[in-house]
Amino acid sequence: MNKINILMTAAALVVVAAAFPAQAADRRYPIAYVQKVEVTEPSRRNVAWENKDFLNCDDVVLTEEDVRYALLHMRRVSWKGYDPEKVDATGCEGEALVTFKNGRILAMGIEPTGRIGTAEFDARMKVVAGSTSFYECSPCRERKMALLKDALNRADERRLKRLVAEGQLSASEAEFRLKWVRAERDKP
């Protein structure tokens, strides 16, 4: 009877572990099979408007290391969980092509917030049917948010300097506002 309980408990743990991965990467794209990572667009604005007073996308750049990190930590989500109309999006995105040893190519669009959109291509760059997927990468977001916070701080500084130059704000008031905004952003 004891052996049966142990086997049932072990089986239950395996099922629970499989059902709730902590932050599992997509098994279709193992990092061990990556042949080449090419960052094709280190930083670009992925929406029609651009307001550099809010955020300059050039301040948030995608690197090969970021792409590899994303492959290790991304988890698949539905379109509803990815939809930019319903979740936080910066409007900035870096793009990369990841070539695997089997010839498949994964095109990735990665935002500093950890939102990732992908499409898979065969070796002849023809889209693999049904390969468009959406991912969330919480560890990626935590990793990039320090850089994003710094970019937002620089944008605040540019905006306040412009207001001082236009005479709409005193230098002391601009300094006070900048310190306040940075302190608010640094709160956990």
Q: Which amino acid makes up residue 63?
A: T
Work out the number of other CB atoms within 10 angstroms of the CB of residue 140. Answer: 24
CA-closest candidate to residue 93, choices 39, 148, 48, 43: 43
**Within a domain: 170:** no
Strands 133-136 and 92-100: unpaired
- What does DSSP assign to residue 97? E
Residues 180 and 174: their CA atoms lie apart, in Å, by 10
Nearest Cα residue to 74 out of 19, 133, 138: 138
Spatial separation of the C-alpha atoms in residues 44 and 129, rounded to whole Å? 27
* Residue 5, pLDDT score: 46
pTM of the full structure:
0.67
Residue 40 falls within a domain, yes or no? yes
Q: Does 139 map to a domain?
A: yes
36: pLDDT confidence band, cut at 50, 70 and 90? very high
Task: Give the model's confidence band at 164: pLDDT under 50 very low, under 70 low, under 90 confident, else very high.
Answer: very high
Q: What domain count does the chain have?
A: 1
- Which residues constitute the domain of residue 137? 22-144
CA–CA gap between residue 63 and residue 95 (Å, rounded): 9
Greater confidence (46 vs 3) lies with: 46
